[in-house]
Amino acid sequence: MKNTEMHILSQKICKIILALAFVLLLPVSVTAELYRSTINEVDVSFEYPKDWKLREVKGRDEKYNEISILGPRSEEDKYSCALSVTMYPKERFASVEEAIRDYKYKFEKFKEFKVVSSGKEGFEIEYLLRLPLYSPKAKDVKIKEKVMFVTRDDNCFKLRWNSVEKDYSKYLPAFNTLCETFQ
């Protein structure tokens, strides 16, 4: 084979390898499902991965409505990654800043709590959680979360993503889609 033919052949092989790598690195859930609220007080819609399990919860003691979407489970850590949208009445928080402070305060007591990044409307945190929960064989596992707060009408919405550290980036696009399509 001539050098030119070898060069062309090696370029073709590289293109095939790159194409395969791209397909293998795509998020597991690429098909989106459109959610429209069925809880009367919550008028929202957003997209989430079609194969994830959705459930709606209405707060009993505390006023809130939440839509939880459970994703794939880490069998090693016995923990499911999850998306959630929580609606609080506007009187609960005077501002987005207050909602952010309140949420961070709740997690500061966790082992190795750390604010990874913080902005005007949200933040990223990480902390250790003993998993599996309530197990004598539990071990410390790093959990990562990304949280955004949005105000609309008379409500404050918390958009949340959490996962074990090793799955965080893999499914983060699902949270980004939820935020981009949230109405």
- Convert the pLDDT of each residue in 121-137 to its tens digit: 889 999 999 988 888 98
Report pLDDT for 23: 38
- The model's pTM: 0.77
Query: Bridge-partner residues for 139, per DSSP?
Result: 131
Q: Give the pLDDT band (50/70/90) at residue 2.
A: low
Instruction: Tell me the chain's radius of gyration from C-alpha atoms.
Output: 21
Give residue-wise pLDDT tens across range 54-105.
Answer: 998 887 767 788 899 999 998 887 889 999 999 888 788 888 888 899 999 9
Residue of 89, 82, 110 whose CA lies nearest to 171: 82
| Beta strand ranges found along 137-178 (DSSP E) | 139-152, 155-164
Q: What fold characterizes domain 29-181?
A: Protein Transport Mog1p; Chain A (3.40.1000)
Q: Give the pLDDT band (50/70/90) at residue 145.
A: very high
Distance CA 43, CA 58 (A): 14
Instruction: Locate the domains of the chain by residue range.
Output: 29-181
Residue of 139, 138, 155, 156 whose CA lies nearest to 147: 156
- CB-side neighbour CA atoms (13 Å) of 4: 0
